[in-house]
Amino acid sequence: MSKMLAAALAYAQLGWRVFPVKARSKQPLIQEWQKRATTDEATIRQWWSKWPDANIGMAAGPESGVLVLDQDGEEGQQSLAGLEKPPTPTQRTGGGGLQWFYAWDERLNGLPTTKVGLLPGVDTRGTGGFTILPPSLHPSGKRYAWADSLNPRDVPLAPPPTWLIQKLTDRPAPSVRVEAGAPIPEGQRNSTLASIAGAMRRRGLTAEEIEAALLVVNRRCVPPLDEREVSRIARSVARYAPAEVPRALRLDESEQDERLEIMDFRQAQQQYERYIEMLAEAKVTLGLPVLDEAMRGLAPGETLWIMARAGVGKTAFLLNILAYNSEIGVDSLFCTLEQPAAQIYERAVQIAVGQSGLDVESVFSRAMVAKRVGTRLPEEYVDWTERTWQRFQHVRMADRDAMTMEDVEAVVRAYERRYGCVPRILAIDYLGRMDGGQGSNYEVTSRLAKQAKSLAKALGVAVILIHQVSREGGDGSQEVSLHMARDSGQVEEAADFVLGLWRPDLHEAIKYKVAEERVCAALLKCRRGPLIRTEFIFDKPRMIFRPAKPTLMTRPQAREAGI
């Protein structure tokens, strides 16, 4: 028995879910590792028989019962200096870092616990994350190893320290309450004045009015803030529209200093390396190789906008993406604002079984009759419902007529409470049905674009939004460009990726009732890769997209697309 197989089996006996990772790498050797990581001896033996030198990955989180605290370099060491770290299994990584293995705490259920940059140089691995276990081989050529006398065979997992639980639960700081006329001590001055300023701005007061009031309150600060700082607080809060002032504006002096941190390129390198690790563990792909290669995945906190005119197939395109991700175990929450859940289900059946909507309706109609009279259900009904469930079992829906971004956040929180985790993907169909408050179309769309990005970052999820282009986009047969984003300068700024869809053969397809037609796609904005054009074959009766040949955009084409 190889030493790697022996170690993997030993970890499995501890209840840790393991899987094979490429040697001298952090690249999983299996797909769907989140779902397939296991403690099953036969499966583990089969894997390491195939890859005897493979590194050992462990899926962290509640199923393994492990939360990992990861310290990287001097920066991480300085961040954790003085913080409680109770004795617990601890490993030295091949890159010179340290990792503490703590027992999972139920208070973390449903929270995003795989976090890059929890503190400078400090990450965590929890739900949806993994770590490499000894005696795996690091890319540096050094082996991961347990610290002296802190091997999991000898030392039980300790509960996470209180400070770590508080950081991960991310509970908002308690409201600053200062009795009328009472002194405001150092450490509460900025947060108190910011809170007061926020309340005033929500009531429509101007920057000058807020500053005048804050200067009076500042007399109670011990010692008073510099008047320039008071003015800065007033101007900063007044930048928000009254309806958009965040609920939490409290910043103490130490938090302000952290925001002004300056880093060198060694520190930037460490952040980039942690970002790459996070991408490997948590990025979302579309199941469309051409786009996935160009985008290199959709990371937590990033947004993808899919733009087209009505009737091009935006919702079907989105459902194909969600179906692919469900099959590989990625959880999605689909907020369907335009079409009711019943219509979405019919489309899901079409995708899952490759049948037309008419055929689906016919089979289900016969099934309803059979249920009423108590006869045997049609075989197609039994087969199709099971296949649809298998294809979409990781997709949940929220069926609403209209929602604000606050409503969307509330739905995600309800999802967390029900299913014990946040979804990896949050899909919204479509932005035009969102309630973005009052103002012109441009103001509302811009507000929603910024709110969507903020929500993605706050929740740590990948957000996919459907957006309808302006009438300048014609009937759906014209090529889509960035400036067609309806009333939207902010879409270009807030989105990480923008994908435009159009049906160049739309008129011929309608005239000759063609079942399959081309749908062209242009990646109009891409944070990480090239701008490309590609084509799909859209089997409209069955709602299925198949990829065709891609092309890179030329400079003139990019200019024509408004890029």
Flag the least confident range among 32-36, 285-289, 333-337, 494-498: 32-36
- Provide mean pLDDT across the span 146-175: 81
Instruction: Evaluate if residue 355 carries a pLDDT over 90.
Output: yes
466 or 555, which is more confident? 466
Per-residue pLDDT at 257: 47
Question: Which pair of structure tokens corresponds to residue 494?
Answer: 């807030």
Tracing tokens 């308690």 back to the chain, one arrives at: 174
Task: Give me the half-sphere count of Cα atoms (radius 13 Å) on the Cβ side of residue 306.
Answer: 24
Percent of the chain with pLDDT over 90: 42
Q: What is the residue-averaged pLDDT of the chain?
A: 85
Per-residue pLDDT at 269: 86
Distance (Å, whole) CA 247 – CA 228: 24
Instruction: Evaluate if residue 193 carries a pLDDT over 60.
Output: yes
- Provide mean pLDDT across the span 397-407: 89
Tracing tokens 């050094």 back to the chain, one arrives at: 142
Predicted confidence band of residue 360 (pLDDT cuts 50, 70, 90): very high
Instruction: Evaluate if residue 261 carries a pLDDT over 60.
Output: no
189 or 405, which is more confident? 405
Question: What b-and-e string marks burial along 227-257, b requiring 16 or more CB atoms within 10 Å of the CB?
Answer: eebbbebbeebbeeeeeebeeebbbbeeeee
Per-residue pLDDT at 362: 97
- Provide mean pLDDT across the span 379-408: 92
Find how far residue 430's CA is from the centre of its chain: 18
Instruction: Evaluate if residue 439 carries a pLDDT over 80.
Output: no
Predicted confidence band of residue 3 (pLDDT cuts 50, 70, 90): very high
Per-residue pLDDT at 486: 52
Flag the least confident range among 185-199, 447-461, 470-484: 470-484
Q: Specify whether the CB–CB gap between 524 and 305 falls below 8 A.
A: no
204-257 confidence digits (pLDDT tens): 888 888 888 898 888 888 788 888 888 888 888 887 777 777 765 544 444 444
Per-residue pLDDT at 320: 95
Per-residue pLDDT at 540: 86
Distance (Å, whole) CA 261 – CA 275: 19
Tracing tokens 């400036």 back to the chain, one arrives at: 483
49-105 confidence digits (pLDDT tens): 999 999 999 999 999 999 999 998 888 888 898 899 999 999 999 888 899 999 999
Per-residue pLDDT at 556: 53
Report the predicted TM-score, pTM, of the whole model to 2 decimal places. Answer: 0.58
Could you say which DSSP state residue 343 is in? H
- Provide mean pLDDT across the span 20-47: 89
Per-residue pLDDT at 13: 94
Q: Specify whether the CB–CB gap between 451 and 405 falls below 8 A.
A: yes
> Which of 72-76, 114-118, 405-409, 549-553 has maximum average pLDDT?
405-409
Pairing of strands 395-399, 303-308: unpaired
Per-residue pLDDT at 341: 93
Pairing of strands 303-308, 462-468: parallel
Domains of the chain: 3-169 (3.30.720.160), 184-249 (no CATH), 283-560 (3.40.50.300)
- Provide mean pLDDT across the span 438-465: 85
Phi, psi of 51 (to 5 degrees): -130, 75
- Provide mean pLDDT across the span 102-112: 89
Phi, psi of 180 (to 5 degrees): -55, 125
Phi, psi of 79 (to 5 degrees): -65, -35
Q: Specify whether the CB–CB gap between 449 and 495 falls below 8 A.
A: yes
184 or 52, which is more confident? 52
10 Å Cβ neighbour count for 40? 12
Question: Which pair of structure tokens corresponds to residue 40?
Answer: 């099953």
Per-residue pLDDT at 258: 41
Flag the least confident range among 10-14, 131-135, 231-235, 316-320: 231-235
Kindly tell me the sign of the dihedral angle through the C-alpha atoms of 471, 475, 479, 485: positive
Per-residue pLDDT at 458: 80
Predicted confidence band of residue 172 (pLDDT cuts 50, 70, 90): very low
- Provide mean pLDDT across the span 11-40: 90
Question: Which pair of structure tokens corresponds to residue 417?
Answer: 């409470």
HEC-encoded secondary structure of 288-334: CHHHHHHHCCECCCCEEEEEECCCCCHHHHHHHHHHHHHHCCCCEEE
Distances (CA, A) of 392 to 60, 219, 324: 25, 60, 9
Preceding peptide of 135 cis, ω within 30°:
yes
Q: Specify whether the CB–CB gap between 218 and 193 falls below 8 A.
A: yes
